[in-house]
Amino acid sequence: MNGNGRKGKLIVFEGIDGSGKTTQMRMLEKFLESKEEVCYSTHEPTDSPFGALLRNCLTGRVDADERAIAALFAADRLDHILNNVNGLKKKLEEGVNVLCDRYYFSSFAYNGEFVPFDWVVELNRPARELLKPDLVVFLDLPSEESMKRVSRRGERERYETEEKQKKIRERFFDAFGRFPDENVVIVESEENKEETQKKIRGAVAPLFGW
């Protein structure tokens, strides 16, 4: 528990590549800290050995079947939630607010391309039962714009073609429709970062009773 005697909040950032999750999450962390809220920022895939193996699969250095990769994402997530050192459940119990760059909605949207959607949902059932986010911030932008931003960064991963991004975005929305019990806010990711941040802060405020 924190000074207020309450559990921390789990705020998840989701979006297609180039949607600005990382920047917006960093801005929100600074804002929350200015309000005396303790924060822990993290991401999936994680930096654990599970996450390291996943990154090797994503770059093609390790050749693995897509079903195994989908299961690995689910395993990485369970370890992220449950491990005794810096597991998310423990952090939240201690009153620390957790900001997480990607969570199970990324599995539905990305891994759903290769593995039946229901299968991915089943794989992630334990994580959903263990730890639902207090808020999911989905940073939305058209796939053409996402590709422009990604090419400006000079990065290319296997998911990064416009047609793919478009399908990934659609699967995010399918998943939001499928889980109406999740607290999801869709925020348009504008060129003006401050404007986007303002909308995110507006969505976060009720969690803290502001």
Asked if 111 touches ligand TYD (CB under 6 A), the answer is yes
Cα distance between residue 160 and residue 137, in whole Å: 21
Asked if 146 touches ligand TYD (CB under 6 A), the answer is no
Asked if 107 touches ligand TYD (CB under 6 A), the answer is yes
Stretch that binds ligand TYD, among 60-68, 98-106, 136-144, 177-185 (CB under 6 A): 98-106
Stretch that binds ligand TYD, among 25-33, 107-115, 173-181, 188-196 (CB under 6 A): 107-115
Alpha-carbon torsion (130, 134, 138, 139), positive or negative: negative
Q: Which residues pair with 130 in a beta bridge?
A: none
Site residues for ligand TYD, 22-81, by CB under 6 A, read 44-45, 58, 73
Asked if 17 touches ligand TYD (CB under 6 A), the answer is yes
159 vs 179 by CB, closer to ligand TYD: 159
Stretch that binds ligand TYD, among 23-31, 82-90, 105-113, 125-133 (CB under 6 A): 105-113
In what order do the strands lie in the sheet containing 184-188?
Answer: 39-43, 97-101, 10-15, 135-140, 184-188
102 vs 199 by CB, closer to ligand TYD: 102
105 vs 197 by CB, closer to ligand TYD: 105
17 vs 37 by CB, closer to ligand TYD: 17
Asked if 110 touches ligand TYD (CB under 6 A), the answer is yes
Cα distance between residue 117 and residue 108, in whole Å: 7
The CB-of-80 to ligand TYD minimum distance in angstroms stands at 10
Burial of 100 (0-12, 13-18, 19+ CB in 10 A): buried
Question: Identity (one letter) of the amino acid at 202?
Answer: G
Site residues for ligand TYD, 178-197, by CB under 6 A, read none
Instruction: Give contact residues for ligand TYD (rule: CB under 6 A).
Output: 17, 44-45, 58, 73, 101-102, 106-107, 110-111, 157, 159
